[in-house]
């Protein structure tokens, strides 16, 4: 028997590597199919409350939590937010979000490198979705696995900081293809870095011609109003759906 997977030893003319590859593909397909069913269930649930649901994705250290902190603070009088925080360990980011006054739930994935639809479905159970305008899901810092897992969100928002390479969209095309919006953060640092902003935007549009791009700094506040306008527009679209259904 094979010590790795318990299957029979390879026979002459039998490519054992193909067996492993086939099993891996089958497992991945089953996992994604189950996740997709749960994501659809989440989406139906969110639609019933006319929620705008955003899945924030990025590399570690891009500034997702800092963007959220400023957004929640600046918009607390006009919009109601609920926040799911995804990390492998600690509740540090959830503590920072809680300090803004927004409802927040920490999800620790342990060895897992992404959130999935099952985690999100259970994570929102403590929120009052009837009074929530926007559900923010801050995913685990990772530009690979979160691209494949639908959580039931309306949009993936990819955050890329200017302290990273401008070629990130080319290195991780699946994530930027899946995103509807890219936030280029920390633009206040541009004078001190060798980061080609225009080249970064060109690369992003090369892999996703429809992607919207907002340049901002959650530290200086530059560009944040354009982000807020995008959020407000999304909420108004949801409210329009709600009003149309009532009519």
* Across 93-118, average pLDDT: 95
- How far apart CA 90 and CA 155 sit, in angstroms, is 26
Q: What's the whole-number mean pLDDT along residues 219-247? A: 84
Domain spans of the chain?
50-231
Helix, strand or coil, per DSSP, at residue 214 = strand
Q: What is the CATH number of domain 50-231?
A: 3.40.50.300
The four Cα atoms 124, 128, 129, 134 give a dihedral, to 10 degrees, of: -90
CB proximity list for 85: less than 8 A, separation 6 or greater: 65, 91, 93, 94, 97, 104, 105, 106, 107, 138
For residue 247, pLDDT beyond 70: no
Which pTM does this prediction carry? 0.86
Mean pLDDT of 119-139: 97
| pLDDT attached to residue 239 | 85
| Per-residue pLDDT reduced to its tens digit, 4-41 | 333 333 444 545 456 656 665 665 667 789 999 999 99
**How much of the chain, in percent, has pLDDT values that exceed 70?**
85
Closest CA to 147 of 179, 104, 120, 123: 179
Q: What does the block give as tokens for 7? A: 């299957």
What pLDDT, on a 0 to 100 scale, did the predictor assign at position 26? 60
Q: Hey, what are 46's tokens?
A: 């969110």
In eight-state DSSP terms, residue 145 is: G
Rounded Cα–Cα distance for residues 50 and 80 (Å): 13
* Residue 244 confidence (pLDDT): 44
Confidence at residue 25, expressed as pLDDT on a 0 to 100 scale: 60
In 3D space, the residue among 197, 62, 39, 178 whose CA is nearest the CA of residue 121 turns out to be 39
Q: Tens digit of pLDDT for each residue in 43-96?
A: 999 999 999 999 999 999 999 999 999 999 999 999 999 999 999 999 999 999
Give residue 240's pLDDT band: very low, low, confident or very high (50, 70, 90): confident
Q: Contact, 238 vs 50, CB < 8 A?
A: yes
CA torsion 109-114-117-123 (nearest 10°) is: 40
Taking all residues of the chain, what is their mean pLDDT, rounded to a whole number?
Answer: 89
Q: What is the mean pLDDT of residues 164-178?
A: 97
Q: What is the pLDDT of residue 12?
A: 47
What pLDDT does 28 receive? 60
Tell me the H-state helices in the chain.
16-48, 64-74, 92-98, 117-123, 168-171, 173-178, 197-207, 224-246
- How much is the CA Rg of the chain, to the nearest whole Å? 20
């Amino acid at each position: 028997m094979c010590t790795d997977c318990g299957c029979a030893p390879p026979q002459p003319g039998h490519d054992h590597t193909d067996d492993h590859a086939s099993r891996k593909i089958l497992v991945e397909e089953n996992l994604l199919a189950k996740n997709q069913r749960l994501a659809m269930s989440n989406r139906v649930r969110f639609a019933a409350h006319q929620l705008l649901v955003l899945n924030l994705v990025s590399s570690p250290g891009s500034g997702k939590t800092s963007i959220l902190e400023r957004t929640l603070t600046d918009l607390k009088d006009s919009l109601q937010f609920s926040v799911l925080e995804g990390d492998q360990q600690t509740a540090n980011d959830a503590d920072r979000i809680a300090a803004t006054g927004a409802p927040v739930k920490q999800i620790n994935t342990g060895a897992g490198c992404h959130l999935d639809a099952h985690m999100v479905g259970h994570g929102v159970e403590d929120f009052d979705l009837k009074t929530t305008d926007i559900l923010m899901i801050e995913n685990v810092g990772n530009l690979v696995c979160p691209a494949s897992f639908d959580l039931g969100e309306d949009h993936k928002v990819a955050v890329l900081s200017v302290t990273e390479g401008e070629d990130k969209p080319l290195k991780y095309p699946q994530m930027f293809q899946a995103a509807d919006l890219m936030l280029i953060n920390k633009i206040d640092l541009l004078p001190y870095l060798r980061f080609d902003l225009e080249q970064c935007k060109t690369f992003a549009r090369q892999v996703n011609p429809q992607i919207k791009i907002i340049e901002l700094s959650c530290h200086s506040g530059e560009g944040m109003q354009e982000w807020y306008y995008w959020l407000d527009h999304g909420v108004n679209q949801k409210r329009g759906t709600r009003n149309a259904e009532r009519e």
